[in-house]
Amino acid sequence: MPTTAIDQLIEDGIESATPDHMTAVLRGERDATRAVPRRAHSGCRGAGDPHALRSSSVADLLLVTCVKAKRSAPAAAKDLYTSPLFTKQRAYAERQPAPWFILSAEHGLIAPDEWLAPYERYLPDTPRSYRAAWGSWVVERLALLAGPLAGKTIEVHAGSTYVDAIHDLLQAKGATVVLPLAGLGVGQRLSWYGVSSPPAPIAPEAEFVQRLTDPTGAVSPAAFLAQGSEGLKVPGLYSWWVDDDGAAELSAGLGLPVAAGLIYAGLAGATRWPSGRRSTNTLWSRIAGMHLGNRHEFSTFRRTLGAILAHAADSSEIDEAALTDWMSKHLVVVTAPYPDPDDLGRLEAQVLDTLDPPLNLRGRPTSPVRTRLTELRRPHR
């Protein structure tokens, strides 16, 4: 099916278009619609159906489209796309009880918390063979992640090219496809979300940034272990801080300056996406059992510190006992429990974007310290 002007505006993120451009594009869309009637999908409900606006109450799965506007650095998929349309789609999806996924022209079916690098691919510009393979890939992966699709209602929020690639394949698996935005123009789509979806609850990123950067709440490793696990056998975030002497030793080991203060932050107990499998980790097990547990293989943070200190000591091995002793002398930790494991990964991503601790690697922008740290960690698996 040819690309429509509305599809192009959706992919571009809408906010990039000027009013004159949108007027011209939409006028061309109306003219094209008069000349070439659009094929209607049989067996699905759309905006013309009085039940369509209520479809979210019965949907078993929800699919939303990707957009062109993206962050410039890797991020969780739900945070990578930045257009107002995607923001509204996400807010709507997060209000629904059904699991939701993102339709990516580059990566197929993506769970919201999967990490992606920015990319440039527009599905309507791909060959028909690519779109056919892409559609099969999306549907099979959806069946793999969500289980058999027979009897399930799948609500799709996407342009016609994306819908055409998966619609018949979903029906062939026994699913009912709901298209609540079918036939709506760009402005109507944005308005639909305003009516149908109250603002999604936003996790208090600012509160957690404040808690993790407040040294008055920090305790030494010895004090952490002595206070026991009460109140800490829960999911949450944490931050590690180093004193002046420890920062000097890390700087020497890296050959690059590391300032005293907050050097690393992370989470414990987040739901694993896209499988949806719950983690058994807690703040207590992460910090007491992994960070302070004398085995760098079980802790990214411990491996990082051990690699730096081993290099400073001109040693090919991490001395676990010496590392634990060094942490006890030079580090303190702040903990911040968070009760929602399903949302914890998103919260961590937002907090790390603000804090950007120097020793965090995954999903963080390249820096001289991170490049050097990656080299030093390589021999220590």
* CB contact set of 133 (below 8 Å; sequence gap of 6+): none
Q: How confident is the model at residue 44 (pLDDT cuts 50, 70, 90)?
A: low
Cα–Cα distance for residue pair 356/349, rounded to 1 Å: 10
pLDDT attached to residue 195: 62
Which one has a higher pLDDT value, 316 or 34?
316
Model confidence pLDDT, tens digit, residues 109-120: 999 999 998 899
User: Which residue matches tokens 């998966």?
Assistant: 166
Is the pLDDT at 58 greater than 80, yes or no? no
Counting residues of the chain whose pLDDT is more than 70, the rounded percentage is 82
| 16-20, 172-176, 303-307: range with lowest mean pLDDT | 16-20
Residues in a beta bridge with 331: 242
pLDDT attached to residue 82: 87
Q: What is the mean pLDDT of residues 71-82?
A: 89
User: Which residue matches tokens 């009897």?
Assistant: 151
CA dihedral 28, 32, 33, 39 (to 10 degrees): -140
Q: How confident is the model at residue 29 (pLDDT cuts 50, 70, 90)?
A: very low
Cα torsion 191, 192, 193, 197: sign = positive
Cα–Cα distance for residue pair 178/299, rounded to 1 Å: 44
Cα–Cα distance for residue pair 176/180, rounded to 1 Å: 13
Is the pLDDT at 31 greater than 90, yes or no? no
Angle between helices 368-377 and 300-312 in degrees, nearest 10: 90
Cα–Cα distance for residue pair 339/28, rounded to 1 Å: 50
pLDDT attached to residue 7: 53
Q: How confident is the model at residue 196 (pLDDT cuts 50, 70, 90)?
A: low
What single DSSP character describes residue 277? B
Residues in a beta bridge with 45: 178
**Contact between 264 and 299 (Cβ < 8 Å):** no
Give the pair of three-digit tokens for residue 134. 């892409």
Q: Let me know if 216 is exposed, middle or buried by CB neighbors in 10 A (0-12, 13-18, 19+).
A: exposed
Q: How confident is the model at residue 32 (pLDDT cuts 50, 70, 90)?
A: very low
What single DSSP character describes residue 269? S
Q: Chain-wide mean pLDDT for the chain?
A: 84
pLDDT attached to residue 106: 95
What number of helices (H) and strands (E) belong to the chain?
15, 11
| 54-68, 243-257, 301-315: range with lowest mean pLDDT | 54-68
Is the pLDDT at 153 greater than 60, yes or no? yes
Residues in a beta bridge with 237: 267, 336
pLDDT attached to residue 271: 86
Q: What is the mean pLDDT of residues 199-215?
A: 78
pLDDT attached to residue 97: 86
Q: Let me know if 201 is exposed, middle or buried by CB neighbors in 10 A (0-12, 13-18, 19+).
A: exposed
Q: How confident is the model at residue 11 (pLDDT cuts 50, 70, 90)?
A: low
Q: What is the mean pLDDT of residues 263-292?
A: 90
Cα–Cα distance for residue pair 189/127, rounded to 1 Å: 27
pLDDT attached to residue 229: 93
Give the pair of three-digit tokens for residue 192. 């639909």
Give the pair of three-digit tokens for residue 145. 């992640």
**Contact between 86 and 13 (Cβ < 8 Å):** yes
Model confidence pLDDT, tens digit, residues 297-328: 889 999 999 999 999 999 999 999 999 999 99
Cα torsion 59, 65, 69, 70: sign = positive
pLDDT attached to residue 8: 52
Is the pLDDT at 235 greater than 70, yes or no? yes
Is the pLDDT at 3 greater than 80, yes or no? no
Model confidence pLDDT, tens digit, residues 344-369: 888 899 899 999 999 999 989 999 99
For residue 305, which of 235, 258, 270, 348 has the smallest C-alpha distance?
Answer: 258
| 6-20, 50-64, 343-357: range with lowest mean pLDDT | 6-20
Is the pLDDT at 75 greater than 80, yes or no? yes
Model confidence pLDDT, tens digit, residues 114-137: 999 889 998 999 999 999 999 999
Is the pLDDT at 46 greater than 60, yes or no? no
